């Protein structure tokens, strides 16, 4: 018989082993899913999880997709750790892209080294402003931040649509709902001659370092940890919970906004209605996958990017629907949460004692 028993101390081994276990379980269910869909499971699994690493082009695409996931995941993890649930990173991403693009269009056909930094600044401020709404409502009126930040995702998508159909529409674009193509000074420098990998990936790596320092060496990181694990102790120590809500929301909103303008000024090169593709939601998985730890998030972001590219490749060559990727991502999060139990609890086999007297 199975019995679940609480551990006296969380298991360190399990903390790092469970993400791997979850990944293996996801791949196994992928096998099952592919077979159900009538595809060769071995080939499809290879296509999804290994093929993306085999070509130079794919690796550069991996960086394109990983950059926003890592940036947003880092921001969100700070909040999640403190028990502040910013679920609306997708909206902050969109507003960041809009704000940064507004700067790019304002300086259209002008040259200057200052344009790109200004765009990034505008993107971050845009994301922060959008994140400030749930932060304000939570701290002023105690309004649930999950629902508010999520509602704002829908609002931001509609706002993007209004803008690309109206004020930000390309005047020479045959009435297509999209902005002008950014001029050269407003485009992110590429990392390599070939492919679309851009400087945003390097910025994401820098932020991994910054986030690590904050978490391990700074008093704010400590306050976040304590507030998430023992709210009472945090209050007793005099940590302001309002300040934490503000800080984590502004941090995550700013990084999501930065990811948004990177997407517009990087691989896309203009503002289009289809710009938000769900990185803000996938980054939630990335944050959990990475155990809310900056280095873990780097790895989690790369892994999630892998499934995006694997999904795209499988769509083209195996005719698999694009939704397969989101099913995998959802499954991965399920398995990750489910295997978490191994950290705080032990599963024991109880040998059921056989009745000594045989009943006749």
Partner 1 sequence: MELFTSIFVGIIIAATPLVFAAIGEVVVERSGVLNLGVEGMIIIGALAGFAFTVETGSFSLGVIASMVAGAAMAFLFAVLTQSLMTNQVATGLALTMFGLGLSALLGQGYSGKSVPTFPKVDIPYLSDLPFIGDLFFKFDILVYLSIALVIGVLWFFEKTRTGLTVRAIGDNHHAAHSIGYSVKKYRYLTIMFGGACAGIGGAYLSLVLTPLWVENMSSGRGWIALALVVFGAWQPVRAMLGAYLFGGITILQLHSQGFGITIDPQLLSMLPYLATIVVLVLISRETVKSKMRSPACLGTPFYASQ
List of residues contacting partner 1 (CB under 8 A): 6, 85, 87, 133, 137, 141-144, 146-148, 150-152, 154-155, 158-159, 161-162, 165-166, 281, 284-285, 288, 321-331, 333-334, 337-338, 340-341, 345
CB of 222 to partner 1, least distance (A): 22
Collapsed DSSP state (helix, strand, coil) of residue 3: strand
CB of 26 to partner 1, least distance (A): 12
Nearer to partner 1, 114 or 154 (CB): 154
Nearer to partner 1, 85 or 262 (CB): 85
Quick one: the chain helix, strand, coil %, rounded to 5?
Answer: 70, 5, 25
CB of 343 to partner 1, least distance (A): 11
CB of 268 to partner 1, least distance (A): 21
Nearer to partner 1, 197 or 285 (CB): 285
Nearer to partner 1, 108 or 345 (CB): 345
Residues linked to residue 3 through DSSP beta bridges, in sequence order: 348
Nearer to partner 1, 199 or 327 (CB): 327
CB of 154 to partner 1, least distance (A): 5
Long-range contacts (CB closer than 8 Å, 24 or more residues apart) made by 339-343: 339/18, 339/21, 339/22, 339/25, 340/18, 341/4, 342/11, 342/14, 342/17, 342/18, 342/21, 343/7, 343/10, 343/11, 343/14, 343/15, 343/18
107 φ/ψ angles, rounded to the nearest 5 degrees: -95, 25
CB of 224 to partner 1, least distance (A): 17
Nearer to partner 1, 147 or 205 (CB): 147
CB of 20 to partner 1, least distance (A): 18
Q: Which two tokens stand for residue 135?
A: 């932060």
**Cβ burial, residue 38 (10 Å; 0-12/13-18/19+):** exposed
Nearer to partner 1, 84 or 186 (CB): 84
CB of 150 to partner 1, least distance (A): 5
DSSP 8-class letter at 268? I
- Please state, in angstroms and as integers, the Cα–Cα distance from residue 312 to each residue in 73, 256, 265, following that order: 22, 24, 22
Residues linked to residue 349 through DSSP beta bridges, in sequence order: 2
57 φ/ψ angles, rounded to the nearest 5 degrees: -60, -45
Q: Which two tokens stand for residue 44?
A: 């499809």
Residue with tokens 């994401």: 204
Residues linked to residue 5 through DSSP beta bridges, in sequence order: 346
CB of 341 to partner 1, least distance (A): 5
The set of residues, in sequence order, having a beta carbon less than 8 Å from that of 277 and lying 6+ positions away, is none
The set of residues, in sequence order, having a beta carbon less than 8 Å from that of 96 and lying 6+ positions away, is 123, 124, 126, 127, 130, 256, 257, 258, 259, 260, 261
Nearer to partner 1, 42 or 337 (CB): 337
Nearer to partner 1, 10 or 321 (CB): 321
């Amino acid at each position: 018989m199975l019995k679940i028993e609480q551990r006296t101390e969380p298991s360190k081994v399990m903390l790092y082993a469970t993400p791997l276990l979850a990944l293996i379980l996801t791949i196994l269910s992928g096998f099952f899913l592919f077979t159900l869909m009538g595809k060769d499971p071995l080939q499809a699994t290879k296509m999804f999880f290994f093929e993306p690493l085999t070509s130079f082009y794919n690796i550069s695409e991996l960086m394109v997709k990983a950059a926003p996931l890592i940036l947003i995941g880092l921001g969100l993890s700070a909040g999640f750790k403190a028990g502040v649930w910013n679920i609306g990173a997708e909206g902050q991403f969109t507003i960041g892209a809009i704000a940064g693009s507004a700067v790019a269009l304002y300086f259209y056909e002008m040259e200057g080294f200052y344009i790109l930094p200004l765009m990034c600044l505008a993107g971050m401020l845009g994301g922060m402003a959008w994140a400030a709404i749930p932060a304000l409502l939570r701290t002023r009126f105690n309004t649930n931040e999950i629902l508010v930040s999520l509602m704002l995702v829908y609002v931001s998508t509609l706002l993007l649509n209004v803008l690309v159909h109206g004020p930000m529409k390309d005047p020479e674009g045959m009435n297509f709902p999209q902005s002008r193509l950014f001029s050269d000074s407003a485009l992110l420098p590429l990392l390599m001659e070939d492919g679309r990998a851009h400087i945003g990936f390097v910025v994401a790596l820098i932020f991994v370092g910054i986030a690590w320092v904050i978490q391990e060496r700074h008093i704010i990181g400590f306050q976040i940890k304590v507030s998430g694990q023992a709210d009472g102790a945090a209050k007793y120590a005099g940590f302001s919970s309002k300040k934490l809500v503000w800080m984590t929301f502004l941090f995550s909103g700013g990084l999501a906004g930065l990811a948004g303008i990177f997407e517009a000024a990087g691989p896309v090169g203009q503002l289009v209605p289809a710009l938000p593709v769900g990185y803000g939601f996938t980054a939630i998985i990335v944050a959990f996958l990475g155990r809310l730890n900056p280095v873990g998030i780097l790895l989690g972001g790369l892994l999630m990017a892998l499934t995006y590219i694997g999904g795209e490749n499988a769509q083209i060559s195996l005719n698999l629907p694009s939704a397969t990727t989101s099913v995998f991502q959802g499954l991965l999060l399920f398995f990750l949460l489910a295997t978490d139990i191994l950290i705080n609890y032990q599963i024991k086999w109880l040998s059921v004692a056989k009745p000594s007297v045989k009943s006749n």
